Amino acid sequence: MGSRFRAVTLDARDQCMRGTSGPEAGLRSCYFGFAWGASMTVPRSVALVILMFALLAAPLALGAQSPGKCYRVGVLCPVTCAVAPIEALRQGLLERGYAEGRNVTFEYRSAEGKFEKFADLAAELVGLQVDIIFTAGVLPAVLGAKRATTKIPIVFAGLGEDPVLYGLVQSLARPGGNLTGIAALYADLVEKQLEFITETVPGLSRVAALWDVGLEKALEPSFKSLAVAAGALGVHLQPVAVRGPEDLARAFRAAADARAGALILLPSPTFFVGRVRLANLAAEHQLPAISSHAEFAKAGGLMAYGPNLRRMFAYAAGIVDRILRGAKPADLPVEQPTEFELTINLKTAKVLRLTIPPAILIQATEVIQ
């Protein structure tokens, strides 16, 4: 899994620590700041002394994981916490030796699509004295947590924006504060998404871009990238604002009225949770659509291109684990996914009377027949 994400810097200690998994990951071969090589030989008496000191040092190396300690993990969710990526985070911690109710509890808080609630929800978690706050996805959640505390560690995953640009961290390599995590940087992906949809739909001249008004500030880099890509590809971009789940039907009518020949869904938790309805609306209006999340294509949308959210959140569990064991967020580089999945729904393509070009089909990670 580690190969699918990259840190901006990775020092020797990090390389050593990432050699194992579970609550004791990183303790084997790492007590003295170096890893034993396979060819190194040590006198038995020296080895016994080293082993004795290692055993004595183990409780210190475990840092925050003291016996009998039950950690409280606060989780901030944009729409609902009952989604597969959040479950992947929970399972990732359980696989590392945590047991719910024994040494870890989860405090879930959902903004229910009202992102202005994040400030109060984050403050509530701080009042509960949680040991760490995990924020799922959107920039408003991370900003709300950051404003609520400078002491409690904060881990983000699924963040689509540059955390440096928005003042969340000092740099990707050295975050410097109490935040770290995984940034997907969706603005770097929209150009490829537009290429895929324009190459798939013959004669495409106008593309609608559905965007969540609750994420206007966060989506600015994506719109800039889209505008540049649209100009290069010779297509007209038609932004269509969406003001919540109840506004989706109107937004699709607006896209159709604007004579859009295809549609791009800019990243939004509202769109992720409502992917089945979005796929149905796209079919109703005969609009080929592409999203950042494979789940959209699996729900009946034409295609998706982006990082695997479940894998990302499962990986983030390892970051949470390291911090609970004593690592400081300031010293943990912000990581980025290095693999992106192209999912194509051939059933939907057939209904839309589209033939997926072989050059695109061969790039697909998953093809739904």
Q: Which two tokens stand for residue 18?
A: 């990432």
Structure confidence at residue 7 (pLDDT) = 55
Domains of the chain: 71-184+308-337 (3.40.50.2300), 187-306+341-368 (3.40.50.2300)
Q: Across all residues in the chain, what is the average pLDDT?
A: 85
Mean pLDDT of 19-35: 30
Asked whether residue 129 carries a pLDDT value surpassing 80, the answer given is yes
Structure confidence at residue 118 (pLDDT) = 96
pLDDT tens, position by position, 227-240 = 999 999 999 999 99
User: What are the backbone angles phi and psi of residue 367, rounded to the nearest 5°?
Assistant: -120, 125
Asked whether residue 109 carries a pLDDT value surpassing 90, the answer given is yes
How far is Cα 216 from Cα 161, in angstroms, rounded to an integer? 12
Mean pLDDT of 281-294: 96
Structure confidence at residue 217 (pLDDT) = 86
Measured in residues, the chain has a length of 369
Q: If pLDDT is split at 50, 70 and 90, which confidence band does 68 have?
A: confident
Q: If pLDDT is split at 50, 70 and 90, which confidence band does 194 have?
A: very high
DSSP string, 266-335: ---HHHHHTHHHHHHHHHHTT--EEESSHHHHHTT-SEEEE--HHHHHHHHHHHHHHHHTT--GGGSPPE
pLDDT tens, position by position, 36-46 = 233 334 444 44
Parallel/antiparallel/unpaired status of strands 104-110 and 206-212: unpaired
pLDDT tens, position by position, 326-339 = 999 999 999 999 89
Asked whether residue 364 carries a pLDDT value surpassing 90, the answer given is yes
Mean pLDDT of 110-135: 96
Structure confidence at residue 268 (pLDDT) = 93
Asked whether residue 11 carries a pLDDT value surpassing 50, the answer given is no
Structure confidence at residue 48 (pLDDT) = 45
pLDDT tens, position by position, 305-314 = 999 999 999 9
More confident residue, 5 or 245: 245
Paired strand residues for 240 = 210
DSSP string, 89-130: HHHHHHTTT--BTTTEEEEEEE-TT-GGGHHHHHHHHHHTT-
Q: If pLDDT is split at 50, 70 and 90, which confidence band does 62 have?
A: very low
Contacts of 38 (CB under 8 A, 6+ apart): none
* pLDDT above 70: percentage of residues in the chain: 82
Structure confidence at residue 66 (pLDDT) = 56
Structure confidence at residue 184 (pLDDT) = 86
Structure confidence at residue 185 (pLDDT) = 81
pLDDT tens, position by position, 148-170 = 999 999 999 988 889 999 999 99
pLDDT tens, position by position, 256-282 = 999 999 999 999 999 999 999 999 999
Helices 118-127 and 139-148 meet at what angle, rounded to 10? 40
